[in-house]
A and B are shown apart, each in its own frame.
Chain A
Amino acid sequence: MRLVRRETPLKGGQVRAFAAGVVIALVLGAILLVSTGHNPAEVYAKMLDASLGSPRGWSATLTRAVPLGLAGLAVAVAGSMGLWNIGAEGQLIAGAIGAAWVARFGGDWNGFVLITAMLLGAVVGGALIALGPALARARLGVNEIITTLMLNEVAIRVVRYLVNGPWKDPEGNNFPVAPELPPQSALPGFFERANIGVLIAAAVIGAVGFYSARSAWGYELKIAGSSAKAAEYVGISLKAKILTVLVLSGAIAGLAGGIELTGSSTRLVEGVGGGFGFAGIIVAALALMRPSGVAAVAVAFGAVQIGGGAIQTLGVPASIAGILQALILFGALGAAVLTNYRVVVK
């Protein structure tokens, strides 16, 4: 048995592959559940119900999809021109730091102004931390995978320093946390447990997805991603493109951090990144690095996470729930190979 590359990718293959991968994963997961003494039907029903079975479930799923989708968009925008932004996690943290920094001055501003300023701070924070790798890549050809990856570690340590040092809450019982954010900085609700962060993310993902699919800018990006030499031949400035794309990518991931801070937490803490930046790489890969495909993948990914969390109430251990989530993602990613390759049995 071997894999043979298809001349053209399978039409609609990504959706079919995703479905096939999920089915395979559910079968494997069922074996796992039975062998650990659980009823797979019950567990799967609970997963589905908790994530997509009710408005409340949807609100949780969509809330989770916000940072996943934005981080995925950040990675995909860079990926569509062949750049790898592995630093979405760090950019997300930098965004949260930027937003928290704005909040330190805006305690008595009105909610709308404060939230807007905080989200702008988040965008700037993410863009700034991406600027270094962007400049290094554009001007010196330094591999952006390494630089963005390393800056994750820097961002994690900076936030640790801040909440243990200068920004430490004096009334925090010595916990490493920043002071509570002003109450008016919380994002207004949307429905059930979801806040308007869902709408902001949907607008950003939609706009960037549409613009990169339909604009001359997105077209140039695609040429550059297809062949750097072809881009030069047409007269596209690769340096300018690399710079704008990586900074934009950082800004989007930074926005995710800002929404997480204003929407889902009350103060800056060490774990503010939540691993969403890394998960964003998987989201972008599943969306085949197409910004327009990120939203659907993020919602599906969010549902798997929320559902995986919910089944623990049935007595399924967290480790088994984690394995189930991993199986589903692994299956979907693995099956994606079949859109570009077909299996030949010989």
Chain B
Amino acid sequence: MLGENGAGKTTLMNVLAGVYLPDEGTVSLDGVEHQFNKPADAIAAGVGMVHQEFRLIPTFSVAENVVLGSAPTLVAKRAIEDEVAALAERFGLATEPGRQIWQLSMGERQRVEILKALWRDAKVLILDEPTAVLTPNEAAELGRITSAMADDGRSIIFISHKLDEVKEFCDEATVLRGGKTVAGSLSVADLDAGAMAELMVGQATDVSQRRSRTSEIGNQVCSVTDMMVHDLHQRAVVNGVSLTVAEGEIVGIAGVAGNGQRPLADAIAGLVKLTSGTVTLAGTDLSTSQPSARNAAGLAYVPEDRIGVGLAPKMNVTENAMMRAYRKLSSGSLIDRDKARANGERLVSEFNVKVGQMDSPIAALSGGNLQRLLVGRELDNEPKVLIAAQPTRGLDVQGVAAIQRILLAQAADGLGILLISEDLEELFALSDRLLVMHEGKVVAEVDPDTATRSEVGRAMAGA
């Protein structure tokens, strides 16, 4: 099951697994129509799903997690551990049934999830982006496990947006885009990566939507050199990225979610530490500076998570509007309430944010208004560079247009923008240069005036 983020893969599979009810349509297994009102119905019919976020109890043992919900009333711990071990052995799943989940690596936890499904005798096993959390060795191990299961006569649905994996793991592929099947039951052996990429990302964009450049691109203002960032599991999530942004330039970053865009943005803004490499802004090395120092030096950041990172959910409009400026709005150690209120009202009117009351919590604002407040606040201090991560995601058409207008106007005024987006159309329309990230690396740089979508799509998929 192949498709971009948001193509509907997980949703569709959640219907098959009984998590969601379909409004229309039917689910059949072996020619028999089923209605799954709850996951237990699907499990009883032989459908198991390994979700991206594992459903395991950290302080229970492997065996306890495997049998949970289907265990006999009286549990003989030893006997169950032996049974689980026997099952694991049958499919070549290396596991220690007595260990507790929190002690295990992500790969081991995933094997527990697979064991859970096998314990319930799943005939159809759905794996939702199973390799996202795995190391390359663990991914290869998973390949062995799935082929052992297929040899045992079970069906496996493998959700992915990585072409190489699909080629490696699967016999057939179905491609989803925008909630629709664009190609069903393709024989993987006959397909090349380019064709699959094109099916995933769709037709070339309308050229007329390209922005007309109104200003010259100036001097380089921000540079990232050989950046490495590791996550908690010591995986290199940003793996040697170098890039530059110049005054008035919009540099786009394309990529499937989870290929290092978020840690890249966070590391430039100072929210996560660099393992190595440098971040330079207007000639000043900020690689080890605090987020506030980077902001003071002219780096603005519209993070992917508007509420919870960029904005504080329980606080009101005025308080959120002064998150960057509250020190300046203070006299001594006390915040000047009049100035704070004026600051908020000014931003709200300048960026056309529709708010009920200035002192109502921002949770009451719509997505578009939240984003205008956040973008407005970040632009208020005349920054030199803006990192805009998924700035239009989830907004309605007018909301998208408003944010894009603001970005273009700011770039025309000389602001350098690093635009991280999953929306190729947006990237093609706004970017002066377009970089593609895959597995923590910049794998391609293209000119959006001449590049095609399938070219970018292929690079996104690592082909």
* Smallest CB separation, A238 vs chain B (Å): 12
Contacts of B275 in A (CB 8 A): none
Contacts of B308 in A (CB 8 A): 227, 229-230
Q: Is the CB of B311 within 8 A of A232?
A: no
Which residue of A214, A216, A233, A235 contacts B303 across the interface (Cβ within 8 Å)? Answer: A233
Which one of A43-51, A165-173, A218-226, A278-286 contacts B? Answer: A218-226
Known: A8-B361, A214-B334. A226 touches B327 (CB 8 A): no
Q: Is the CB of A227 within 8 A of B326?
A: no
Known: A216-B326, A216-B330, A219-B319. A230 touches B335 (CB 8 A): no
Which residue of A7, A216, A226, A229 contacts B315 across the interface (Cβ within 8 Å)? Answer: A226
Contacts of A227 in B (CB 8 A): 308-309, 312-314
Q: Could you tell me the distance between the alpha carbons of A90 and B326 in the complex, rounded to whole angstroms? A: 36
Q: Is the CB of A216 within 8 A of B314?
A: no
Which residue of A8, A215, A222, A232 contacts B271 across the interface (Cβ within 8 Å)? Answer: A232
Which residue of A215, A216, A230 contacts B311 across the interface (Cβ within 8 Å)? Answer: A230
Interface residues in A, total, Cβ within 8 A: 20
Q: Is the CB of B319 within 8 A of A222?
A: yes
Q: Is the CB of A219 within 8 A of B326?
A: yes
Q: Does A344 contact B (CB under 8 A)?
A: no
Q: Is the CB of A226 within 8 A of B313?
A: yes
Q: Could you tell me the distance between the alpha carbons of A232 and B291 in the complex, rounded to whole angstroms? A: 8
Contacts of B315 in A (CB 8 A): 222-223, 226
Known: A216-B333, A222-B315, A226-B314. A234 touches B305 (CB 8 A): no
Q: What 0/1 readout, one digit per residue, does chain B (293-328) give for beta carbons within 8 Å of chain A?
A: 101000001010100111111110001001110110
Q: Is the CB of A223 within 8 A of B312?
A: yes
- A residues 3-52 with Cβ under 8 Å of B? 7-8
Q: Is the CB of B323 within 8 A of A234?
A: yes
Q: Is the CB of B360 within 8 A of A216?
A: no
Which residue of A7, A211, A230 contacts B323 across the interface (Cβ within 8 Å)? Answer: A230
Contacts of A225 in B (CB 8 A): 314
Q: Does B209 contact A (CB under 8 A)?
A: no
Q: Could you tell me the distance between the alpha carbons of A220 and B78 in the complex, rounded to whole angstroms? A: 52
Q: Does B290 contact A (CB under 8 A)?
A: yes
Contacts of B360 in A (CB 8 A): 8
- B residues 358-401 with Cβ under 8 Å of A? 360-361, 363-364
Q: Is the CB of B333 within 8 A of A215?
A: yes
Q: Could you tell me the distance between the alpha carbons of A332 and B293 in the complex, rounded to whole angstroms? A: 46
Q: Could you tell me the distance between the alpha carbons of A129 and B8 in the complex, rounded to whole angstroms? A: 54
Q: Does B337 contact A (CB under 8 A)?
A: yes
Contacts of A234 in B (CB 8 A): 291-292, 323-324
Contacts of A226 in B (CB 8 A): 312-315
Q: Is the CB of B327 within 8 A of A223?
A: no
- A residues 208-260 with Cβ under 8 Å of B? 211, 214-217, 219, 222-223, 225-227, 229-235
Q: Residue of B at shortest CB range from A236?
A: B292
Contacts of A217 in B (CB 8 A): 333
* Smallest CB separation, B122 vs chain A (Å): 36
Q: Could you tell me the distance between the alpha carbons of A232 and B290 in the complex, rounded to whole angstroms? A: 9
Contacts of A216 in B (CB 8 A): 326-327, 330, 333-335
Q: Is the CB of B295 within 8 A of A235?
A: yes
Select the residue from A7, A211, A222, A229 with max chain B CB neighbours within 10 A.
A229
Contacts of A8 in B (CB 8 A): 360-361, 364
* Smallest CB separation, A104 vs chain B (Å): 38
Interface residues in B, total, Cβ within 8 A: 34
Q: Could you tell me the distance between the alpha carbons of A255 and B364 in the complex, rounded to whole angstroms? A: 40
Q: Is the CB of A235 within 8 A of B364?
A: no
* Smallest CB separation, B389 vs chain A (Å): 12
Q: Could you tell me the distance between the alpha carbons of A292 and B381 in the complex, rounded to whole angstroms? A: 32
Which residue of B295, B319, B335 contacts A214 across the interface (Cβ within 8 Å)? Answer: B335
Q: Residue of A at shortest CB range from B332?
A: A215
Contacts of A230 in B (CB 8 A): 308-312, 323
Q: Residue of A at shortest CB range from B316?
A: A8
* Smallest CB separation, B265 vs chain A (Å): 11
Q: Could you tell me the distance between the alpha carbons of A232 and B323 in the complex, rounded to whole angstroms? A: 11
Q: Could you tell me the distance between the alpha carbons of A7 and B270 in the complex, rounded to whole angstroms? A: 33
Q: What 0/1 readout, one digit per residue, does chain A (264-292) give for beta carbons within 8 Å of chain B?
A: 00000000000000000000000000000
Select the residue from A7, A222, A225, A226 with max chain B CB neighbours within 10 A.
A226
Q: Could you tell me the distance between the alpha carbons of A230 and B324 in the complex, rounded to whole angstroms? A: 11
Q: Could you tell me the distance between the alpha carbons of A47 and B29 in the complex, rounded to whole angstroms? A: 72
- B residues 1-29 with Cβ under 8 Å of A? none
Q: Could you tell me the distance between the alpha carbons of A232 and B301 in the complex, rounded to whole angstroms? A: 13
- B residues 197-235 with Cβ under 8 Å of A? none
* Smallest CB separation, B39 vs chain A (Å): 25
Q: Residue of A at shortest CB range from B272?
A: A232
Q: Could you tell me the distance between the alpha carbons of A222 and B320 in the complex, rounded to whole angstroms? A: 11
Contacts of A232 in B (CB 8 A): 271, 291
- B residues 239-288 with Cβ under 8 Å of A? 269-271
Q: Is the CB of B313 within 8 A of A7?
A: no
Q: Residue of B at shortest CB range from A223?
A: B312
Q: Is the CB of B335 within 8 A of A215?
A: yes
Q: Residue of B at shortest CB range from A232?
A: B271
Q: Could you tell me the distance between the alpha carbons of A225 and B292 in the complex, rounded to whole angstroms? A: 19
* Smallest CB separation, A3 vs chain B (Å): 17
Q: Could you tell me the distance between the alpha carbons of A222 and B318 in the complex, rounded to whole angstroms? A: 13
- B residues 419-441 with Cβ under 8 Å of A? none
Which residue of A214, A223, A235 contacts B292 across the interface (Cβ within 8 Å)? Answer: A235
Q: Could you tell me the distance between the alpha carbons of A137 and B293 in the complex, rounded to whole angstroms? A: 26
Q: Is the CB of A229 within 8 A of B326?
A: no
Q: Is the CB of A219 within 8 A of B291?
A: no
Contacts of B322 in A (CB 8 A): 219
Q: Could you tell me the distance between the alpha carbons of A215 and B313 in the complex, rounded to whole angstroms? A: 20
Q: Residue of A at shortest CB range from B303?
A: A233
Q: What 0/1 readout, one digit per residue, does chain A (88-103) give for beta carbons within 8 Å of chain B?
A: 0000000000000000
Q: Could you tell me the distance between the alpha carbons of A219 and B363 in the complex, rounded to whole angstroms? A: 18
* Smallest CB separation, A239 vs chain B (Å): 13
Q: Is the CB of B310 within 8 A of A233?
A: yes
Q: Is the CB of A229 within 8 A of B290?
A: no
Contacts of B314 in A (CB 8 A): 225-227
Q: Residue of A at shortest CB range from B363?
A: A7
- A residues 185-202 with Cβ under 8 Å of B? none
Q: Which residues of A contact B (CB under 8 A)?
A: 7-8, 211, 214-217, 219, 222-223, 225-227, 229-235
Given contacts A211-B333, A216-B330, A233-B291, 17 further A-B contacts (CB under 8 A): A8-B361, A8-B364, A214-B335, A214-B337, A215-B333, A215-B334, A216-B327, A219-B319, A226-B315, A227-B313, A227-B314, A230-B311, A230-B312, A232-B271, A233-B303, A234-B291, A235-B293
23 A-B contacts (beta carbon < 8 Å): A8-B364, A211-B333, A214-B334, A214-B335, A215-B333, A216-B327, A216-B330, A216-B334, A222-B312, A223-B315, A225-B314, A226-B313, A229-B271, A229-B305, A229-B308, A229-B309, A230-B311, A233-B269, A233-B271, A234-B291, A234-B323, A235-B291, A235-B292
Q: 9 tightest CB-CB pairs across the interface, nearest first?
A: A235-B292, A226-B312, A235-B291, A226-B314, A230-B312, A229-B309, A215-B333, A227-B308, A216-B330
Q: Which residues of B contact A (CB under 8 A)?
A: 269-271, 290-293, 295, 301, 303, 305, 308-315, 319, 322-324, 326-327, 330, 333-335, 337, 360-361, 363-364
